[in-house]
């Protein structure tokens, strides 16, 4: 979190950001969930009870490479989204 991240390809500076998911319900920040997706008749994919982390993406200012990190644990999105 302290030292700036460097691009593994070109050694450029990686800038923190996130990828926005556009859905019918609005905008969602992507989440990383442990395991394989299980289908649910309610929400499409089952999320409850799974380890869930928010995803940060870093972008290289020089070559545009994206790198994602899922460090911060968050609540899995509920039935009605969040």
The whole-angstrom separation of Cα 10 and Cα 59 is: 12
Site for Zn ion in 12-31 (CB under 5 A): 12
Answer yes or no whether residue 9 interacts with Zn ion by CB under 5 A. Answer: yes
Closest by CA position to 54, among listed 18, 16, 15, 3: 18
Answer yes or no whether residue 5 interacts with Zn ion by CB under 5 A. Answer: no
Torsion region of 11: left, alpha or beta (phi above 0 gives left; psi -120 to 50 gives alpha) = left
Binding-site size for Zn ion (CB under 5 A) equals 8
Answer yes or no whether residue 65 interacts with Zn ion by CB under 5 A. Answer: yes
* Smallest separation, CB 15 to Zn ion (Å): 11
């Amino acid at each position: 979190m302290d030292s700036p991240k460097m691009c593994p390809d070109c050694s450029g500076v990686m800038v923190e950001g996130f990828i926005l998911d556009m859905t019918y319900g609005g905008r969602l920040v992507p989440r990383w969930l442990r395991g394989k997706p299980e289908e649910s008749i309610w929400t499409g994919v089952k999320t409850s009870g799974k380890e869930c982390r928010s995803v940060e993406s870093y972008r290289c200012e020089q070559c545009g490479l994206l790198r994602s990190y899922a460090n911060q644990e968050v609540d899995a999105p509920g039935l009605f989204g969040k």
